[in-house]
Amino acid sequence: MTSGGEADALPIAPQEGKVKAYCFKCKKQQEMKDPKEVTLKNGRKATKATCSVCGGKIMRMGGSK
């Protein structure tokens, strides 16, 4: 395991629909810029990226679909 609770960060292949997650800075759903699939310390998958509007870090639990 690496520090921060992430094992491997893998880039996600482009999809038909853009991946969205809630941005706490913008306070609404935003598209993810450069999403990467990560594995948390507890073994669950998540998608980590930056907000396409404000540039803040955003995360979506459950990985990409």
Strands 45-51 and 20-23: unpaired
Output the pLDDT for position 6. 53
**Spans of all domains in the chain:** 10-61
The predicted model scores a pTM of 0.66
Top pLDDT among 49 and 6 is at 49
Rounded distance, CA 18 to CA 14, Å? Answer: 8
Using a CB cutoff of 8 Å and minimum separation of 24, what contacts does 39-43 make? 39/6, 39/7, 39/8, 40/5, 40/6, 41/1, 41/5
Tokens standing for 29?
């759903």
Residue range 25-50, pLDDT digits in tens:
999 999 999 999 999 999 999 999 99
Element (H, E) at 47: strand 45-51
